[in-house]
Amino acid sequence: MKTLLLLFIAFISINCQAQKNMKKRVEEMRQQYMSREYEKAYQLARNILKDDAKNLSALNCLMNSAYELKKPKEAVEASTKIISSIDQSTLFPYLEEHSYYRQLLREAYNLRAWIAYETGKDLPKALEDVNRALSITSPIDKDQNLNAYIDTRVRILLKLNRTKEAYATAEKALRKDPDIRDLQDIKSSEAYKKYVAEVHQSGWGKYTKGSSTETAIEALNRYENFIKLYEKDTEQPLPYHQLKWYKNKFSQKELQEVEKRLGITLPPDYIKFVTTYGNFSIQEGYNLLNPKEITRLSDALRKEWEINLDKKCTPKQRENLDNLICFGYGTEDQQDVWYYVFSYKTRNAQTGYMEVQPYNQDDWWDLTKTPERMYSDKRGGFDTYISELVDSLIQSIIEE
């Protein structure tokens, strides 16, 4: 027994020393790459992978250094190994330790797409790759390479002769940051300037942004007009983007029962819409809840997600959740379920308007914060929510 114990201790000691040596080798590899000693970094990465074939740091360095050394085949192979080595279904968007894996995936997808762009091979697949890179997001991630991914998307779209989509992507990025270095040649080109001028005067441009007084029904009419024009211009049918109306309008009696059940007063812009026009859906995802389904966020979390709020929340946080009223839902990336809620604490006593907040099942805790401002705009929160939703849907279609 004593011999076995000594052998076990020796094994642990050897293993710890091996881990220390590996960390030292990885750090040396990184330093070489940061110093632009790409050949040395490349060789160090290859040596590390001989001992640890799934070392993600070495695969990442091999991918980037191989590209710098004009070895695109090896760069692509390394990027593919990174993508296959990370189980994306297990990544949680609010865990710090998963930021590293998301970063590796974005870089791998983007570099693979960029190499395809440079070689002109399988550009549709390259577009899928860069779209995937851009879709791997989290509120806690700060990716300094985001503009590079956007640039990759723009260049691939241009090479595919999908000019409007390319320029729409560039314009959205340049609106946020006019000084993006990678896009300055696009920005200064006459073709892009012409696109920007036209898009803001006619065509799709007149549909991309609602006015500050736009109501919900005006926004949805704008959406339908855009879909018709887009399908006509591009000859691309959009079956999954159609606006679908349901026959039954909500009755005043049904809404009064909701108010009585929850002890609240629903906002007038919402009541006017659902009693006049009823319910609708877009993209098989964005829907209003029927009156019997309208509930407090706290009850939805407890019943549908089995969250024990008594253990998870303070009394103050629970009170805040009780004052968030779920009236709609949607899906994002076919994975996250989103609720849309009226924040009853923001109710304006004179107008009855309330702020609308979106959230998904993973970030409910963020909505336990007490709202700081009362909703006092001339336009209600429901009208504003539908208008901004239409803005985002139209923009995403243009950029697809």
* Domains defined along the chain, listed by start: 29-199 (1.25.40.10), 241-399 (3.40.1580)
**Measured in whole angstroms, how far is the alpha carbon of residue 152 from the centre of its chain?**
18
Distance CA 110, CA 131 (A): 9
**Residue 210: its pLDDT value, please?**
85
Q: Model confidence over 271-283: pLDDT tens digits?
A: 999 999 999 888 7
Half-sphere exposure of 155 (CA within 13 A, CB side): 21
Specify whether the CB–CB gap between 323 and 357 falls below 8 A.
no
Neighbours of 131 (CB within 10 A): 17
Top-confidence residue, 91 or 364:
91
Half-sphere exposure of 207 (CA within 13 A, CB side): 20
**Residue 64: its pLDDT value, please?**
92
Q: Coil, helix or strand for 21?
A: helix
Q: Is the pTM of this model over 0.85?
A: no
Top-confidence residue, 151 or 376:
151
Top-confidence residue, 392 or 111:
111
**Residue 200: its pLDDT value, please?**
63
Res. 94: pLDDT tops 90: no
**Residue 8: its pLDDT value, please?**
40
Lowest average pLDDT, out of 42-56, 74-88, 157-171, 296-310, goes to 296-310
Q: What is the mean pLDDT of the chain?
A: 83
Res. 331: pLDDT tops 80: no
- Please give the radius of gyration of the chain, using alpha carbons only, rounded to the nearest integer: 26
**Residue 259: its pLDDT value, please?**
95
Q: Model confidence over 34-90: pLDDT tens digits?
A: 999 999 989 988 998 898 888 888 889 889 999 999 999 999 999 999 999 998 888
pLDDT band, residue 350 (cuts 50/70/90): confident
Res. 7: pLDDT tops 50: no
Closest CA to 325 of 351, 349, 359: 359
Distance CA 134, CA 125 (A): 14
Q: Coil, helix or strand for 286?
A: strand
Structure-block tokens of residue 190: 């006459």
Res. 181: pLDDT tops 60: yes
Instruction: Tell me the CA distances in angstroms from 66 to 47, 80, 110, 153, 155, one per residue in order.
Output: 14, 13, 15, 22, 22
Region 99-106: mean pLDDT is 91
Q: Model confidence over 357-392: pLDDT tens digits?
A: 877 766 655 666 666 555 556 788 899 989 988 888
